[in-house]
Structure 1
Amino acid sequence: MQSPPPPPPRPRFAWASRNFRIQTAATVVSGLGNAGAPIATAFAVLEAGGSQADVGYVTAARLLPTVLLLVVGGALADRLPRHHIMVAANLFSGASQAALAALVLTGHPPLWQLLLLSAGGGAGYAFYSPAAGGMIMESVAREHAARAFSVFRMGLNGAQIGGAALGGALTAAIGPGWVLALDAGCFLVAAALRFFLEPQAPAAPGAGGSMLRDLREGWQEFASRRWLWVIVLQFSVLVACVSAVEAVYGPVVAKERLGGAGDWGLAMAAYGCGLVATGLLMVRWQPRRILLVGNWGVFLFGVPAFALAVAAPLPVLATAMFLSGVGVTVFGVNWMIALQQEIPAEAFSRVAAYDELGSLSLAPLGTALAGPAADVLGLSGALWACGTLSLLLSAAVLLEPQVRRLSRRAPERSEPRLAEPAATH
C-alpha cells in the first residue's frame, strides 16, 4: 500500500499574518522618509539663518501637539477601526510635510511658518501612533511575539539606516526641501498600503460609553502597574535629553566641528546599523527578566552625548551612535513583549497613548531649552549634562522591584483577532 504523500512544507514566515506584513511594509516606507526629515528640518532652519535655539523651537513645535493629543488618539483607536485612523493620519502628515517642503524649496520661510507646519506633523503622529501600536500587537500571535517584534523593529530600523544616510546626503547635495518632499511622498505611499489592512474586531467597550470613561479606564490600567509608570517616568526625562542631543546639539556639532549634514546623516545611519544588528540577535534571544534586560540597554542611550561633548571624530561618534542603537533595540523589543503580555487587548491603544504621552511629556521643553542651556553651560557642558542624567536615570529605575522581576510567561497559543468577513474598508 502506498504511503500518503508528506504534507507540504509550511511557509517560512507562516507566523506573519497579512496585517503584520502590510503594516511592517508601510512602516518601512514611512520610516525611510521620517529618518531623513529631522535632519532636513534642522538644516533648513540653520540655512535660513536660524540659531540652535530656533532648531529646538521647531522640534518642540512638532512634539507639543503630539503630547496634547495622544490620549485622544488612543481613545479613538480603541473605539474606531484602527486602519482608518492610520490612513487618515498618514494623509494629513503627508499634506503637512508637502506644504513644509514647498515653503523651503521656494525660499527661506519665516520661523512661524516652520513652527506651524511642524506642529501639523506632530498632530498627525498623535493619532497615528496609538492605532499603529494596537494594530501590530493584535496582528501577532503571542507565541510568536519575540520573533515578530524583532522582525518588525528590524524593518523599521533598516529604514532608519537608509533614510538617515539618504536624508543627510540629499540635504547636503540638493537641499533640505527635497528631503521633506520625499517624506511627504513616503507618507502617501504608506497610507495607500494601510488602506488594504484587514479590519480587526472592535476592541472598544460597549456601545454608548463616553470617551471620558474610556480615558479613565485606560488611566486605571496604566496607573495600576507600577513597573509601567516607573519606566514611563524615567523616559519622560530621558527622551527630553535624547531629543535635545539628536535634534539640536547633534546637527549643530556636525555643522561646526564635522562635515555638516552629510556627516550627521552617516552618524544617524550608524545608529540605524546598531538597531538592525541587534534586531537579528533579538529574534533568537529571549531573556526571562524582560524589563531588567531591557533597561540594561537604556544605559547606552547617553553614549552619543559624551562623544559629541568631547568633539570626537566621525568614526568614534558613529561607534557611539551604533551602541545607542543597540540599546534602543534591546529595550524596545523587551518593552513590546511586556506590553503585549500584561496589557488587555481592549485597552491597549489607550495604555499605549498614556505610555507615549508620559515618555514625550518633557521632550518639547527639553528641545526648546536646549539652546538656552547651551548658552549657559556651553555646548559641551550641556551635552555632558544630558549624558550624565541618562546614566543616573538608567540606574535609578532598577530600584523598583517590579522592573527587576517582571518575567516572560510561557506563551499560550493565540491567533490574530480579525473582524467578521462582512466588514469592509
Structure 2
Amino acid sequence: MTGFRQRFVVFREREFSVFFIGYVTSNLGTSMASVALAFAVLHNGGSLTDLSLVLAARIVPMVLFLLGAGVLGDRLPRRRVMLMADSVRALSQGTLAVLFLAGSAPLWAVLALAACGGVGEALFRPSFDGLVPEIAPKERLSEANSLLGMAYSVASVAGPALAGALVAVTSAATVLLVDALSYLISIGALLMLRVGNRVPDLGNSSMLAELRAGWQAFSAHTWLWTVTLQFTLFNLIVWAPYLVLGPVSADRDYGGPEAWGLIVGTFGGGSLLGGLLLLGRRPSRPLVVTTLITFLWAAPSAALAVRAPLWTVCAAALAAGVSSAVFNSLWMTTIQQHVPADSLSRVMSYVTFGAYSVGPIGLALAGPLAEFTSIGLVLAVGVGWQILANSVVLMLPAVRNLHAPIFGPEESSTANPTESADPTTFDTTTT
C-alpha cells in the first residue's frame, strides 16, 4: 500500500493539487462542449457544411497562433498567459451559449467565436507545458504528467457521455454555458497558484528572433525533432485515416455508431489504465520505451483493416490507449527534463505545431483515397508506415542512448520553489 500511495505523493504539493482541480474541470467542460457545439449548430438549422466550417474555424487559428504563443510563454509569466487564454475561452464559449439560448446565432458570429476559442487553446498549451515543471518536484514530473494525462483521458470519455445526457434533458446551449463556467474555475485555480513570475531577460529581441532561438533549441536535440517528425507523419498517415475511416468501418462491419462508441470508449479506458500503470515508474531510457510501446498505435487500424471481430478491435483500441498514455507522459517528462526552462514553451510550440499542422490534410485525403482504393488498403498503409517509422527511430543512437536523470534525496524540493522566485516579479494576484 505504501508503494501505491507513493505514486500519488505529488498531490502533497499544494500548487500541483490546486492546478489539477482547475485543469480537470476545464478539460471536462471542453470535452462536453465539442459534442454540444455540433448539436447547437445543427439544431440552429445549420448544415453539415456549416458544421465542418465551425470545426475548422477552431483548428486553423489554433495552428496559426501556436508558434507565437510559444514565444509569449517564454517571454511572459506562463500563469499570466494561461489566465489570458482561459479568459478568452470563457468569454467565447459564454457568448456562444447566450447566442444559441437567444435563438439568434448567425454563422459568421459562430465562426468568429469558434476562432477565438482556437486562439485561446493556442495560447494555453505551450504555457501549460512549461508551467508543469514549476508546480511539481522535478523528481515527480513523471507522476505529474501521468496524472494530468489520466485527467485528460477521463474527461475525454466522461465529457461526451455527460454532454449527450445534458443535451437531451436541457439544451446544447446550456452545455456550452457549463463549459464557460468550467474555465472560470480554472481561472480561479490559476489565481491561487503561488509561483514566481520570473521570466528570462530577452532584451529587445523581436518575435522573429525569439522564434529562431526557439527553433535552434528545438533542432539542437536530434531525438526531439526526430520523434516530432515521426509523430507528425503518424497523424497524417495513421491516425487521421483511422479517425475518418473507423466510423465508416464500424457502420459497415460492426452494426453502426454504437460499435464505434464502444471502440472509442475502450481507447479512453486504455489511456486511463496506461496512466495508472506508469505511476511510480521511471524507465532509465524513456524514449526506447515510448518507441517500443507505440508500435501498438497501429493496432486498431490493423484490426479494422482485416475486419477482425469487434472484441479484437476493442482489445486493439485498449492497447493503443495504454500506448498513448505511456508515450505522452514519458515524452513530456523527457522534454521538460532536457530542454532549458527559458525556451520550453517555444520548443513545445514547435512540437505541438508539428502534431497539428498536417493532421487536417490527412483528414481531407483519407475519404477520397479510400473511395479510390479501399478502406482496408488505406488503413493497412498506415500500419505498415508505423512499423517502418518506429523501427527506424529505434535504430537512432540519439533515441537509444538518452537516459533519464537520476535524482538524489537532496533534490527532493520543488522544481521552482516560491522562496527562490524574485519577489519583485510577483504578480499582484498571487495569494
Please give the TM-score of this superposition, normalised by the length of structure 1. Answer: 0.83
Q: Which residue of 1 aligns with 2:415?
A: 416
- Residue identity opposite 1:20 in structure 2: F
Classify 1:175/1:322 alpha carbon distance in 2 versus 1 (closer, same or farther; 3 Å): farther
Post-superposition offset of 1:88: 1.7
Closer/same/farther in 2, CA of residues 56 and 247 from structure 1, 3 Å limit: farther
Aligned partner of 2:415: which letter?
P
The answer for the alignment partner of 1:6 in structure 2 is none
Map Cα deviations across residues 52-108 of structure 1 (whole Å, 9 max, x no partner): x87766544432222211111111111212112112211212333344556667779
In structure 2, the residue matched to 1:24 is 20
Pair 155,259 (structure 1): closer, same or farther in 2 beyond 3 Å: same
Q: 2-side partners of 1:254 and 1:187: how far apart? A: 34
Instruction: Indicate how the Cα distance of structure 1 residues 14 and 358 shifts in structure 2: closer, same or farther if over 3 A, else same.
Output: closer
Deviates more, 1:375-384 or 1:267-276: 375-384
User: How far apart, CA to CA, are the structure 2 residues paired with 1:345 and 1:83?
Assistant: 14
How far apart are the structure 2 equivalents of 1:34 and 1:330?
23
Pick from 127, 140, 144 the counterpart of residue 131 of structure 1: 127
Contact 2:94-2:177 within 8 A present in 1 as well: yes
3-state SS of paired residue (1:297): helix
1:310-363 superposed Cα distances (whole Å, 9 cap, x missing partner): 566654443332211101111112112211221011111111111111222212
The one of 325, 329, 334 equivalent to 1:329 is: 325
Q: RMSD in angstroms over aligned alpha carbons?
A: 3.5
Of 150-159 and 85-94, deviating more is: 150-159
Q: What is aligned with 1:269?
A: 265
Residues 92-171 of structure 1 mapped to structure 2, 5 A cutoff: 92-101=88-97, 115-167=111-163
**Partner residue, 1:191:** 187
* Map of 2:343 onto structure 1: 347
- Offset from partner CA, 1:286-321 (integer Å, 9 cap, x none): 211110101122222222334444566654443332
User: SS of the residue aligned with 1:198?
Assistant: coil
Supply the distance in 1 between the matched residues of 2:37 and 2:306 (Cα, whole angstroms).
25
Residue pair 1:151, 1:279 contacting (<8 A) in 2 also: yes
Matches of 1:259 and 1:33 in 2, distance apart?
30
- 2:290 match: 294
The unaligned stretches of length 5 or more in structure 1 are: 1-9
Letter in 1 for 2:61: P
- Structure 1 residue 150 displacement after superposition: 2.2
The unaligned stretches of length 5 or more in structure 2 are: 1-5
Change (3 A) 1:257 1:59: farther
Q: Which amino acid aligns with 1:123?
A: V
* Maintained 8 Å contact 1:164/1:266: no
Higher helix share: 2
CA spacing shift, 1:377–1:355, aligned 2, 3 Å: same
Structure 2 letter corresponding to 1:402: A
Q: Deviations over 1:228-254 (max 9, x none)?
A: 001111111212346535654445556
| Kept in 2: contact 1:147–1:284 (CA 8 A) | yes
Q: 1:310 to 1:41 in 2, by over 3 A?
A: farther
Structure 1 stretch 175-184 or stretch 146-155: which is displaced more? 175-184
The alignment-based identity, stated in percent, is 37
Aligned position for 1:71: 67
In the aligned structure 2, how far is the partner of 1:43 from the partner of 1:242?
A: 28
Whichever residue aligns with residue 326 of structure 2, its letter is V
Letter in 2 for 1:274: G
Over 3 Å counting, the alpha-carbon distance change for 1:30 and 1:15 in structure 2 is: closer
Deviation at 1:146, TM superposition (A): 2.3
Structure 1 residue 420: Cα displacement: 4.0
CA displacement at 1:373 relative to structure 2: 3.5
Normalising by structure 2, what TM-score?
A: 0.82
Post-superposition CA distance 1:246-281 (Å, at most 9, x none):
654445556676676665444333222211211122
Distance 1:249 1:66 in 2: 25
